[in-house]
Structure 1
Amino acid sequence: MKQFLFSAMLASALAAGPAAPAAAAAINAIGVENEYADVISQIGGTYVRVQSIESDPNTDPHTFEASPKIAQQIAAAQLIVENGVGYDSWADKIMSASQRPNRKVINVQKLLGLPDDTPNPHLWYDPKTMPAVAKAVADELSGLQPAQAAYFKANADKFVASLQPWNDAIAAFKAKHDKTPIAATEPVANYLLEAMGFDILTPFSLQKAIMDGTDPSPQDVTTQNDLFANKKVKVFAYNQQVTDALTKSFLDASKKAGIPVVGVYETMPAPGYNYQSWMMAEVAALEKAVTNGVSTESLQKGH
């Protein structure tokens, strides 16, 4: 689904071997996407040193290319959390080329028991995902530092409990606004939109084409434009990280029709967010769009 180029520099970096490991007191961990890195940090606290690879809210993760520095980071990591569903398969290639004894890898797709052909890889927007990730992270960290197992488990329990306001907000929105029609550029936030009860009217074939970087059919483009021109939707979920002339034309059409826009993201927008506040901000923005017609096109200026 996603193509990544590996340079000769990357090969030489792998040949050079892993970077120096972290101090013994800290577990060296990577969340390939920064939302997963944030969860590792919340669970591991002072006992982990966490890095994220994909973290820039202004870039398209679909065009990500690994570098020698990233290869060294992954080679040195004791715990890695990756998304799966082909979204970050480049990381698997680096791990295969840089074997590390006892490296712990949490593939979120596999953790959730999802098939390889799962059509929507943006798993972090699903309310079921991060509780499972938090518990798995606590288990793996406990294996690496058994003396801190109770600490890791307590942090995981605290994290899961902290998601309750988000789940409550989702349920409250669905109770008030079930079946609200919405358009999207691609299925980034679809798991959340579905949980909130939205009726996603954009053809999935169009969303997938934009996600995969291919041309959608003229019929799908016509359908999407009709949603705006005839005000068939109440809000437009716009992926701020994968944009081109076509998605911008949809953005212009939604604005011309007076349809509020809510920005959605593939990596956690900065500054000032953690996973919980990011998800709460998305729900709040969607509610403001539906109830007051207010756009929240960008979440990058804080929350």
Structure 2
Amino acid sequence: MPAWRCGGDDVTWTYSDTIGCACAPTSRTVPHGRSRCSFPLQYALVIITNSVFVADLQELAVPTFRPRRTLAGIAGLSVAAALTLTACGSNPGSDELTVVASTNVWGSVAQAVAGDHVEVTSIITEASADPHSFEVSPSDAAKISSASLIVYNGGGYDQFVDNVLDSDSDDRAVVSAFALFEDEHGEADGHDHDHGHSHDHDHGHSHGSVNEHVWYDYLTVAAVAQAVADELAELDPSNADSYRANATTFTDELAGVTAIVDGIAASHVDAPVAQTEPVAQYLLDAAALRDLTPPDFLRAIENETDPAPAAIAATRALLTDHQVQILVFNTQTQDRVTQDIRSTAEAANIPVVEITETLPEGLDYIQWQTRTAQALADALAAPQ
């Protein structure tokens, strides 16, 4: 890669084998091929293999051109390489408080606590994105790496966050919902799950059959809100009282959701249900419902493989024979098998309760969970 000069000794130019970054403190003219391109104060020229990006250093690498390839498909570029971009484009002198969440679920919880003091950025906001297999872009890696506070699920659900943190040696404030779940439920594996001021590389990669969808465990969600308040209070002491008051308000609102679930448990204890995937298992457990779905069926759907014919037949029989009162259906992982199960339930007049893994558009966490819990209560109360 040629060592281009923009002119002037006050211009810093650093590059690696895969990423080059020209950081211009003043407006400069930078040669590129046969053309000449001018970049103002906060911009940088970023070269990733044969692709050229214009990155806003304040916005942390927002591209004007992005090839239609995933991060894994760009030759030689890894999360570590993406963080080279962060090192070049970050502003170490900035005291601005930044909070980044892995998904809009945890982003909503964090925003409820942060209030008007901090704007929370969520990496995954689209229902079509699967956090398990999400490939972080250089821009997203930069946001995570430079955040004052990171809030994520953990437990292997949003592994891309751990991958970025593993490539970044800086200590930072991290709140892992799964680590708090283990603390709250007494399932800690012996590691220190303090959500304090550093990423300790304990990601929960070996949790066996433990369900990582902990945003449906309201005790854990309340703990996350409190942990976010504690971290923000330390990062921004002048607004500490506000953060803690917001966390209390959020927890009070969450109690309204819990009340609906407690009502289900009181009225429909041990009611038999089926589900297409154990995403809302903690909600079903809290509602004292009994899941009859064959474990082999659930395991296959969760692993994105076809269930054995016997498992499919057994699941269909739960519906056609009216052995269950409702079907809980994850709308974000539909395939021909789960769609067939839903059609079978509808043909048998079995109520279908839809659940999701990310926030529906226009709803915050409390609104989303209130709607979900109420839909579950209404379906169970429907005439069979």
Fold-level similarity (TM above 0.5): yes
Q: Which has the higher contact order (CA 8 A, sep 6+)?
A: 1
Q: Indicate if the aligned counterparts of 1:21 and 1:28 stay in contact, CA closer than 8 A.
A: no
The percentage of counterpart residues that share the same residue type is 33
**Cα distance, 1:117 vs structure 2:** 2.4
Match of 2:303 in 1: 212
Q: Tell me which amino acid in the other structure corresponds to 1:71.
A: A
Q: Indicate if the aligned counterparts of 2:101 and 2:151 stay in contact, CA closer than 8 A.
A: yes
Match of 1:188 in 2: 279
TM (norm. structure 2) is 0.70
Match of 2:181 in 1: 112
User: Is structure 2 residue 42 aligned with structure 1 residue 42?
Assistant: no
Match of 2:10 in 1: none
| Correspondent of 1:163 among 254, 262, 270 | 254
**Cα distance, 1:31 vs structure 2:** 1.3
How big is each residue's C-alpha offset from its partner over 1:43-72, in whole Å with a ceiling of 9 and x where there is no partner?
111221211112212443334222122111
How big is each residue's C-alpha offset from its partner over 1:77-113, in whole Å with a ceiling of 9 and x where there is no partner?
1111111111111211111213334x11111111222
Match of 2:97 in 1: 27
User: Is structure 2 residue 139 aligned with structure 1 residue 69?
Assistant: yes
More strand by share: 2
| Counterpart Cα distance in 1 of 2:383 and 2:149 | 44
User: Is structure 2 residue 311 aligned with structure 1 residue 242?
Assistant: no
Range moving further from structure 2, 126-135 or 5-14: 5-14
How big is each residue's C-alpha offset from its partner over 1:208-259, in whole Å with a ceiling of 9 and x where there is no partner?
2211112323322121010111111111111011111111111111111111
Q: Indicate if the aligned counterparts of 1:260 and 1:293 stay in contact, CA closer than 8 A.
A: no
Q: Indicate if the aligned counterparts of 1:17 and 1:98 stay in contact, CA closer than 8 A.
A: no
**Cα distance, 1:181 vs structure 2:** 1.3
| Correspondent of 1:131 among 197, 222, 239 | 222
Corresponding residue SS for 1:241: helix
Q: Using a 3 Å threshold, how does the CA distance of structure 1 residues 26 and 104 change in structure 2: closer, same or farther?
A: same
| Counterpart Cα distance in 2 of 1:26 and 1:49 | 11
User: Is structure 2 residue 151 aligned with structure 1 residue 60?
Assistant: no
User: Is structure 2 residue 154 aligned with structure 1 residue 84?
Assistant: yes
**Cα distance, 1:162 vs structure 2:** 1.2
Match of 1:17 in 2: 86
TM (norm. structure 1) is 0.88
- Structure 2: stretches of 5+ with no match in the other structure: 1-69, 190-206
Match of 1:299 in 2: none
Match of 2:242 in 1: 151
| Counterpart Cα distance in 2 of 1:5 and 1:245 | 29
| Counterpart Cα distance in 1 of 2:306 and 2:127 | 24
Q: Using a 3 Å threshold, how does the CA distance of structure 1 residues 142 and 36 change in structure 2: closer, same or farther?
A: same
| Correspondent of 2:375 among 285, 288, 291 | 285
**Cα distance, 1:142 vs structure 2:** 1.2
More helix by share: 1
Q: Tell me which amino acid in the other structure corresponds to 1:232.
A: Q
Q: Tell me which amino acid in the other structure corresponds to 1:55.
A: T
Q: Using a 3 Å threshold, how does the CA distance of structure 1 residues 61 and 136 change in structure 2: closer, same or farther?
A: same
CA radius of gyration, larger in: 2
How big is each residue's C-alpha offset from its partner over 1:166-207, in whole Å with a ceiling of 9 and x where there is no partner?
111111111111111111011011100111121111023321
Paired residues, number: 289
Corresponding residue SS for 2:285: helix
Q: Using a 3 Å threshold, how does the CA distance of structure 1 residues 253 and 62 change in structure 2: closer, same or farther?
A: farther
Q: Tell me which amino acid in the other structure corresponds to 1:153.
A: R
Q: Indicate if the aligned counterparts of 1:58 and 1:240 stay in contact, CA closer than 8 A.
A: no
User: Is structure 2 residue 359 aligned with structure 1 residue 268?
Assistant: yes
| Counterpart Cα distance in 1 of 2:169 and 2:284 | 39
**Cα distance, 1:25 vs structure 2:** 6.8
- Structure 1: stretches of 5+ with no match in the other structure: 295-303
Corresponding residue SS for 2:121: strand
Corresponding residue SS for 1:48: coil
CA RMSD of aligned residues (A): 2.2
Q: Indicate if the aligned counterparts of 2:261 and 2:286 stay in contact, CA closer than 8 A.
A: yes
Q: Indicate if the aligned counterparts of 2:71 and 2:137 stay in contact, CA closer than 8 A.
A: no
| Counterpart Cα distance in 1 of 2:168 and 2:354 | 37
User: Is structure 2 residue 319 aligned with structure 1 residue 228?
Assistant: yes
